[in-house]
Amino acid sequence: MGESDEKAVRSETTAPPSAIYEAVNDYLDHAMLVEGKSPATIRGYRSDLQNLVADMVGWEDVTLSALRAWLAAAVEQGKSRATIARRTAAVRAFCAWALRQGYLQTNPAARLVSPRTVRSLPRVLEAFDAAELVEQPLAGNGTERVRDRAMLEMLYATGIRVAELVGLDPEDVDLQRGTARVLGKGNKERMVPFGRPASEALQRWLQVRHELANDGESALFVGVRGKRINQRQVRRVVERAASTIGARGVTPHGLRHAAATHLLDGGADLRVVQEVLGHSSLQTTQIYTHVSVDRLTKAYRQAHPRA
């Protein structure tokens, strides 16, 4: 039997392309009306599932190997982690529905695992760049500059999240011991240390904080209206300071990455860094070891005569 004959037999024994497309539309109606999925989720699922079935002739083409190949192609195309995760969720939900409807005899997506993708990190500031950034002369009046310097010092010294920084109150900071009590994700409290530069910057800020803060305001860092500063304002401060040293694109999270990487570069134990950063899982912290190893390898190849 020739190739054309095989195609003819295949077309006669499988559902027409429109049938599986119609099933996608039926599922999306179910997902919206019965499961209550949001319009944004429906739009994403529609794009994903129509992409999936574009080259499928019938339900027999919905196999585990086909689903794996589809996700692998998305990874090779450079799709984001969020897109890969959404595609995986979409096809799992669709196949589970198709099984209940009798379109599938088994659910191939039940054994589907998202392809592993490399978690990317922003470029890590070198230690001297980070020091230069936090010491930059900043815009604004004298009181704002003192505040901004204290915020920059704290972000880099402690590696805390920007949400944790803006959540600090004066009583959370112990200048004598050089520690801050931080309320992290899941309302988990932890103590983080900081050094003399951050302590001195905080002390200077606390001396002038009353010039900006409204009466009765409990926040450590306040904005020009005298209320607790918001995350957007902190990001602007970091971005302005970074641009003055030619390091555009640096964010508060970038300073957190730098703090973690520089701790590991300096020999800190991974579990200590985990505690400082407030990670619930050591696996999350281990991403920074990859950065440190990469930096070590690069330095070795640049310096060793036999590299």
Among residues 149, 256, 257, 262, which one is catalytic? 256
**162 near 235, Cβ under 8 Å?**
yes
The DSSP secondary structure of the chain, one letter per residue, reads --HHHHHHHHHHHS--HHHHHHHHHHHHHHHHHTS---HHHHHHHHHHHHHHHTT--SGGG--HHHHHHHHHHHHHTT--HHHHHHHHHHHHHHHHHHHHHTS-SS-GGGG--PPP-PPP-PPPPPHHHHHHHHTS--SS-HHHHHHHHHHHHHHHHH---HHHHHT--GGGEETTTTEEEEE-GGG-EEEEE--HHHHHHHHHHHHHGGGTSPTT---SSB-TTSSBPPHHHHHHHHHHHHHHTT-TT--HHHHHHHHHHHHHHTT--HHHHHHHHT-SSHHHHTHHHHHHHHHHHHHHHHH-TT-
Active site residue 288: yes
Among residues 161, 209, 228, 262, which one is catalytic? 161
Among residues 7, 185, 227, 271, which one is catalytic? 185
Active site residue 279: yes
Active site residue 79: no
Active site residue 30: no
Among residues 147, 149, 262, 279, which one is catalytic? 279
Q: Which residues are catalytic?
A: 161, 185, 253, 256, 279, 288
